[in-house]
């Protein structure tokens, strides 16, 4: 009996509602794997109680009160209890399609709904369905209060893309279903010959008119990409992933005609080619969004045709797919195969102001897929139009944008006030966030709309505020910085902007602005100035304040001193001054109350105008600084100056490195710590003090430092400098060549070197030298560094001479061919071979035989005058082998 009563009451409610689709019917969304959203009462709630697990397109619908009725993926239908309704299986839709289905209520019949489904290709399992658009009819009755499919899979087109939408036509109280098909009815297999078409079916209180209005368009489309109708019903757009384009058409809902508007390549930046999938319009139908790859792109298409190019705005998001506008005016973006949904909070605003937020909705156990439910576009048009923010005591103008005539309204402004005006103006008396709620009455039904507005406070200026100025020398005019009036506002550190005037009339009309308010010259004792204060939120307060000045005696303040290197930099004539300590001293000297403030400045004018306040750790050269003293009400108590003095530079006069020379070359190095200093501390690398004398003798290599102290102006300053001590290293000879009257020698060392054969006359300045025209024999080569620090190197070199000819004629001159200066002092062995021009060996000599030489005979026979060849192998005292070869002449 209870079940029967429930069925009867539900049926009676549905039947009496005289139903026509309005915004409450979009309250509940179900999509993906068990995922849902609820938009009742201006809030957004996550739902995870869905029974559907669908990879892509879907549709949902709620009743006039916003309670769930049923949802579908185009194949099955689930009721409000998340069970498949009676006869709710086996619908013809392809669940893999982008837009598999849409639900349309029968006008003036709250018990009847139509589900339109799309199928792009034939299916044979589990049931055969040919491609096309189908519809099924659902009834709510006493026997089936959860709904029953009474007619199923009635085919109305022979082809279909998975692109479907609908729009309300208020003049005829009908719904226009728009679906896309192939215009040749699928008869050709050649893609290039396939055009597309809009098919528009009219659903009225008499049912579905199955004779569509067909508009052929010259487009060959790919299968993937959504279609959307703008909420105002003036545009239809569809994406084409295959061709990387989005097409826009003007749509006339009265005449049911389509005209090409623009074609948008989905290349929002140079080299960024996107494959579009989901698309959506903002609620005001002016800004367009599409998804592709890992991006969502904003395109303000309403600006097309203007003087400036339209800017794209690109937002990064992982795996975006379908986009769907909700009744709250926000656009939701599913992030495929995750538990996250991105939200565009203010899609009517351009650029980053649209507030794109990836992944802000996160589910616990449910997964979103590619799809979001499709709705009748006009049902999402209804909205409150007003400024989103304004100021206290400034009127908000509220209006409605709906797809049908509004009979009456009930406004609730969230501050305890109400209105029944269609377009009310409302002034909020206090700042804050307010939820605007309006109950909209249309023919035989009503629904609620919500909008949040922010009311900003006005800048507040204390009444009868006074800027006071201290005058030291009775000067006229007196300089004021008018911007200091900020101290008398409600937030002295705010980002208020100020403009100043000499009359209230000028301030009201924003005319004759005072041009130099930081250095305003006042010529009267109690001058009134008017101010216009604007907050960052553009709220304006107009008020006035007074300028007072009075003479004050100049305080005598002590100078302060600091060390030259107190700023961490030596010899820049600057130091660091502790103004915190100086402030303590001034307070004690002048016996100031603790609530008086002291600020420091570089000039008298800065102190008057309170600009360029110094940091209390001031760094600078010797100069005068100024102070300004004010009481707790910012009244000037006095202005005075004192000198900050940087003491002389204290820096040890030392080199960074010293060399300890060979004791035979130079005497010991003694460093001088400077007679102007008072204390000297010579330290080693372990910071051990080695000496406190002025002079320091360098005894061994290492790293050292000197710290010196000097007192000036009763302030002792100190400075340290490190230096390195190294011992001179004797160079070493790395190459010697002696031949044919030349001696070449090179060294490696840490200095620059000179070279000599007699120890007196030196040549060169580097690391090598060549001596020419040197006589054969024994020679000493002297090597010294140019600084006379390293010990002199002496190298003994033996230079031999190989004669170019000899004349064995018995005259006692050149009668024998031999090697000159070839001695056993330098060579342990010699093998000298002489050959004729045919390579025949004709004479051999060793080291001792070389003393006599060759007389030009072979087997006691004189050889003819000609050239002969030699090969000499020498072994020196270090057992190094030296080989020389060449030729000479025998002359007779």
pLDDT in tens, 201-226: 999 999 999 999 999 998 889 999 99
Running DSSP on this structure, what letter comes out for residue 450?
A: E
Q: Is the pLDDT of residue 882 over 90?
A: no
Helix, strand, coil shares of the chain as percentages rounded to 5? 10, 45, 45
Same domain, 882 and 779: no
User: To 5 degrees, how large is the angle CA 199–CA 203–CA 208?
Assistant: 85
652 assigned to some structural domain: no
**Sign (positive/negative) of CA torsion 751, 752, 754, 755?**
positive
pLDDT value for 334: 98
Query: Does some domain include residue 6?
Result: yes
Cα–Cα distance measured from residue 540 to residue 544, given in angstroms and rounded to the nearest whole number: 13
Whether residue 399 is found in the same domain as residue 371? no
The model's confidence at residue 6, banded by pLDDT at 50, 70 and 90, is very low
Q: Could you give the percent of the chain with pLDDT greater than 70?
A: 96
- The arithmetic mean of pLDDT across residues 538-553, rounded, is 91
Q: Which two tokens stand for residue 690?
A: 């080695």
CATH number at residue 862: 2.60.40
Mean pLDDT in residue range 93-104 = 96
Q: Sheet harboring 112-119: ordered strands across? A: 101-105, 112-119, 132-139, 148-155
Distance of CA 621 to the CA centre of its chain: 39
3-state SS of 607-670 is HHHCCCCCCCEEEECCEEEEEEEECCCCCEEEEEEEEEEECCCCCCCCCCEEEECCCCCCCCCE
Q: Are strands 861-862 and 857-858 parallel, antiparallel or unpaired?
A: antiparallel
Mean pLDDT within 421-434: 95
Number of domains in the chain: 7
- The DSSP-derived string for 537-605 is T--EEEEEEEEEEEE-PPPB---EEE-TTTTS-TTSS-EEEEHHHHHHHHHHHHT--TT-EEEEESSHH
Task: Decide if 74 is inside a domain.
Answer: yes
Q: Distances from the Cα of 424 to the Cαs of 401, 447, 637, in angstroms?
A: 14, 18, 54
What is the C-alpha separation between 695 and 691, in angstroms, rounded?
9
The whole-angstrom separation of Cα 71 and Cα 91 is 13
| pLDDT value, residue 307 | 60
Summarize the confidence of residues 243-267 as an average pLDDT: 95
Percent of the chain with pLDDT over 90: 77
Helix (H) or strand (E) holding 9, with range, is: helix 2-16
Q: pLDDT band for position 777 (50/70/90)?
A: confident
Contact 358, 317 (CB under 8 A): yes
Q: How many helices, marked H, and strands, marked E, lie in the chain? A: 4, 68
Token code pair at residue 314:
């690109």
Mark which of 703, 727, 751 sits at the end of a domain. Answer: 727
And the tokens for 256?
A: 């049911």
Answer yes or no: is pLDDT of 702 > 70: yes
Q: Is residue 274 part of a domain?
A: yes
Range of the domain at 854: 805-890
Give the mean pLDDT of 601-621: 94
Question: Considering only 315-329, 411-425, 464-478, 509-523, which range has the smallest mean pLDDT?
Answer: 464-478
Mean pLDDT of the chain: 91
What pLDDT sits at residue 444?
A: 77
How far is Cα 554 from Cα 552, in angstroms, rounded to an integer? 7
Tell me what pLDDT residue 429 has.
93
Please determine, for residue 446, whether its predicted confidence score (pLDDT) is greater than 90: no
Q: Any idea what DSSP says for residue 732?
A: E
The count of other CB atoms within 10 Å of the CB of residue 763 is 11
The answer to whether residues 154 and 27 belong to one domain is: yes
> Please, which residues bridge with residue 401 across strands?
383
Tell me if residue 523 falls in helix, strand or coil.
Answer: coil
Q: Which residues pair with 437 in a beta bridge?
A: 412, 450
pTM comes to 0.64
What's the pLDDT tens digit per position in 794-846?
A: 998 888 888 999 999 988 899 999 998 888 888 889 999 999 999 999 999 99
Q: In whole angstroms, what is the distance from residue 13 CA to residue 17 CA? A: 6
Are 213 and 228 contained in the same domain?
yes
Return d(Cα 78, Cα 30) in angstroms, integer. Answer: 10
Question: Looking at the predicted structure, is the pLDDT value of residue 404 above 90?
Answer: no
- Give the integer Cα–Cα distance in Å for 19 and 39: 20
pLDDT over 70 at 277, yes or no = yes
* Position 186 pLDDT exceeds 70: no
> Are the beta carbons of 545 and 633 closer than 8 angstroms?
no
Q: How is 217-260 classified by DSSP, letter by letter?
A: ES----S---EEE-TTSSEEEEEETTTTEEEEEEEETTTTEEEE
8 A C-beta contact, residue 467 and residue 482? yes
pLDDT value at residue 414: 94
In this structure, the answer to whether residues 419 and 520 fall within a common structural domain is no
Whether residue 490 has pLDDT greater than 60: yes
C-alpha 277/C-alpha 139 separation (Å) is 34
* Rounded Cα gap, residues 507 and 502, in angstroms: 8
Q: Is 844 within 8 Å of 831 (Cβ atoms)?
A: yes
Residue 737 has pLDDT above 90, yes or no: no
User: Are 375 and 105 a contacting pair, CB within 8 Å?
Assistant: no
Judged against a pLDDT cut of 90, whether residue 398 lies above it is answered with: yes
Indicate which CATH number applies to the domain containing 789: 2.60.40.10
Backbone φ and ψ of 222, nearest 5°:
-80, 170
Q: How many alpha carbons lie under 13 Å from residue 200 in its C-beta half-sphere?
A: 21
Do the domain assignments include residue 578? Answer: yes
pLDDT of 7 > 70? The answer is no
Q: What is the mean pLDDT of residues 726-734?
A: 89
C-beta pairs of 846-850 under 8 Å, 24+ apart in sequence: 847/822, 850/818, 850/819, 850/822
Are residues 428 and 506 part of one domain?
A: no
Are 663 and 518 contained in the same domain? no
| Residues 298 and 290 sit within 8 Å (Cβ to Cβ) | no
Q: Which residue has better confidence, 415 or 126?
A: 415
Q: Say if CB 124 and CB 104 are below 8 A apart.
A: no
412 CB contacts (<8 Å, ≥6 apart)? 418, 436, 437, 438, 439
pLDDT at 355 over 50: yes
The DSSP annotation for 426-446 comes to EE-SS-EEEEEEEEEEETTEE
What pLDDT is stored for residue 284 in this prediction?
93
Same domain, 444 and 472: no
Distance of CA 860 to CAs 508, 842, 843, 854, 864, Å?
137, 11, 12, 12, 13
**Strand-by-strand arrangement of the 408-412 sheet:** 389-391, 445-456, 432-442, 408-412, 418-419
d(CA 65, CA 77): 21
User: Once rounded to an integer, what is the mean pLDDT over residues 703-716?
Assistant: 96
Distance CA 487, CA 635 (A): 11
621 shares a domain with 478: no
Residue 451 lies in a domain: yes
Q: Are 204 and 89 part of one and the same domain?
A: yes
pLDDT band at 739 (very low <50, low <70, confident <90, very high): confident
Which pairing describes strands 861-862 and 418-419: parallel, antiparallel, or unpaired? unpaired
Residues 131 and 6 in one domain: yes
- Co-location of 351 and 421 in the same domain: no
pLDDT one-digit tens code per residue, 786-806: 989 999 999 988 888 889 999
Between 9 and 652, the higher pLDDT residue: 652
CA dihedral sign of residues 126, 128, 129, 130: positive
**Cα 231 to chain center, whole Å?**
36
- C-alpha–C-alpha distance, residues 281 and 162, integer Å: 19
Give me the pLDDT at residue 747, please.
Answer: 95
Residue 611, in any domain of the structure: yes
Question: Is the pLDDT at 516 greater than 70, yes or no?
Answer: yes
- 227 touches 163 (CB < 8 A): yes
Q: Is the dihedral of CA 540, 542, 546, 547 positive or negative?
A: positive
d(CA 798, CA 787): 29
Residue 18 has pLDDT above 60, yes or no: no
Domain boundary among 520, 551, 582: 551
User: Contact at 8 Å (CB) between 340 and 364?
Assistant: no
- Residue 651 maps to a domain: no
Number of residues written out for the chain? 892
Structure tokens that stand for 669 in this block: 């190095």
Q: Does an H or E element contain 15, and which? A: helix 2-16
**Residue 86: φ, ψ to 5°:** -60, 130
Question: Which of these three, 344, 379, 414, is where a domain ends?
Answer: 379
Nearest to 21 by CA among 102, 94, 96, 107: 107
């Amino acid at each position: 009996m209870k079940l029967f009563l429930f069925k009867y009451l539900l049926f009676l409610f549905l039947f009496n509602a005289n139903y026509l689709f309005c915004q409450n019917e979009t309250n509940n969304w179900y999509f993906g794997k068990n995922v849902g959203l609820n938009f009742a009462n201006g809030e957004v709630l996550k739902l995870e109680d869905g029974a559907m697990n669908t990879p892509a397109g879907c549709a949902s619908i709620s009743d006039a009160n916003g309670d769930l009725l049923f949802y579908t993926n185009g194949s099955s239908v689930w009721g409000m209890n998340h069970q498949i309704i009676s006869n709710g299986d086996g619908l013809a839709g392809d669940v893999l399609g982008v837009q598999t289905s849409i639900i349309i209520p029968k006008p003036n019949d709250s018990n009847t709904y139509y589900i339109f489904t799309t199928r792009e290709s034939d299916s044979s399992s589990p049931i055969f369905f040919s491609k096309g658009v189908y519809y099924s009819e659902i009834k709510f009755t006493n026997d089936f209060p959860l709904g029953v499919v009474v007619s199923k899979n009635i085919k109305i087109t022979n082809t279909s893309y998975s692109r479907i939408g609908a729009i309300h036509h208020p003049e005829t109280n009908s719904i226009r279903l728009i679906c896309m098909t192939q215009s040749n009815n699928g008869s050709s297999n050649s893609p290039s010959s396939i055009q597309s078409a809009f098919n528009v079916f009219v659903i009225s209180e008499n049912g579905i008119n199955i004779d569509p209005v067909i508009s052929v368009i010259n487009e060959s489309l790919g299968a993937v990409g959504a279609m959307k109708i703008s909420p105002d019903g003036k545009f239809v757009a569809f994406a084409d992933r295959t061709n990387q384009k989005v097409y826009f058409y003007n749509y006339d809902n009265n005449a049911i005609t389509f005209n090409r508007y623009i074609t948008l390549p989905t290349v929002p930046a140079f080299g960024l080619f996107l494959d579009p999938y989901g698309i959506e319009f903002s609620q005001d139908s002016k800004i367009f969004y599409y998804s592709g790859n890992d991006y969502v792109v904003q395109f303000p298409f309403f600006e097309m045709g203007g003087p400036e190019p339209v800017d794209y705005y690109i937002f990064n998001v992982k795996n975006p797919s379908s986009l769907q506008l909700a009744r709250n005016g926000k656009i939701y973006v599913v992030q495929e195969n995750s538990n996250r949904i991105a939200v565009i909070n203010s899609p009517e605003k351009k650029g980053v102001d649209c507030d794109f937020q990836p992944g802000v909705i996160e589910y616990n156990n449910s997964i979103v897929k590619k799809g979001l439910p499709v709705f009748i576009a006009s049902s999402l048009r209804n909205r409150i139009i007003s400024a989103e923010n304004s100021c206290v005591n400034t009127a908000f103008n509220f209006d409605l944008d709906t797809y049908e005539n509004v009979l009456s309204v009930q406004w609730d402004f969230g501050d305890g006030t109400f209105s029944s005006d269609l377009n009310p103006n409302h002034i909020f008396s206090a700042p804050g966030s307010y939820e605007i709620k309006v109950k909209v009455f249309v023919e035989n039904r009503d629904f609620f709309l919500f909008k949040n507005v922010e009311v900003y406070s006005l800048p507040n200026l204390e009444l009868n505020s006074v800027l006071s100025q201290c005058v030291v020398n009775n000067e006229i005019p007196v300089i004021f910085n008018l911007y200091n009036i900020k101290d008398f506002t409600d937030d002295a550190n705010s980002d208020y902007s100020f403009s100043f005037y000499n009359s209230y009339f000028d301030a009201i009309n924003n005319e004759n602005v005072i041009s130099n308010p930081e250095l305003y010259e006042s010529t009267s004792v109690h001058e009134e100035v008017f101010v216009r204060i604007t907050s960052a939120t553009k709220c304006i307060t107009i008020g006035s304040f007074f300028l007072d000045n009075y003479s004050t005696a100049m305080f005598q303040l002590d100078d302060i001193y600091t060390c030259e290197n107190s700023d961490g930099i030596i010899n820049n004539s600057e130091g660091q001054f502790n103004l915190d300590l100086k402030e303590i001293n001034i307070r004690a000297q002048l016996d100031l109350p603790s609530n008086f403030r002291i600020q420091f400045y570089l000039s008298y004018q800065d102190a008057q105008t309170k600009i360029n306040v110094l940091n209390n750790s001031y760094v600078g050269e010797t100069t005068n600084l100024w102070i300004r003293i004010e009481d707790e009400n910012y009244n000037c108590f006095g202005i005075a100056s004192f000198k900050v003095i940087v003491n002389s530079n204290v820096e040890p006069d030392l080199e960074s490195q010293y060399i300890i020379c060979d004791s035979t070359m130079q005497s010991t190095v003694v460093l001088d710590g400077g007679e102007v200093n008072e204390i000297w501390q010579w330290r080693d690398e372990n910071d051990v003090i080695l000496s406190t004398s002025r002079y320091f003798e360098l005894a061994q290599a290492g790293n050292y430092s000197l710290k010196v102290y000097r007192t000036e102006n009763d302030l002792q300053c100190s400075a340290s400098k490190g230096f390195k001590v190294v011992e001179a290293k004797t160079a070493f000879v790395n190459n010697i060549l002696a031949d044919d009257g030349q001696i070449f020698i090179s060294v490696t060392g840490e200095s620059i070197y000179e070279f000599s054969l007699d120890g007196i006359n030196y040549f060169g300045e580097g690391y090598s030298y060549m001596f020419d025209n040197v006589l054969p024999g024994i020679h000493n080569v002297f090597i010294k560094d140019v600084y006379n620090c390293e010990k002199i190197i002496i190298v003994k070199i033996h230079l031999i001479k190989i004669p170019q000819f000899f004349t064995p004629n018995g005259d006692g001159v050149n009668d024998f061919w031999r090697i000159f200066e070839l001695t056993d002092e330098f060579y342990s062995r010699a093998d000298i071979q002489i050959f004729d021009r045919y390579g025949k060996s004709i004479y051999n000599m060793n080291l001792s035989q070389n003393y006599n030489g060759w007389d030009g005979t072979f087997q006691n026979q004189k050889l003819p005058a000609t050239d002969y060849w030699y090969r000499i192998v020498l072994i020196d005292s270090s057992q190094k082998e030296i080989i020389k070869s060449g030729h000479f002449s025998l002359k007779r």
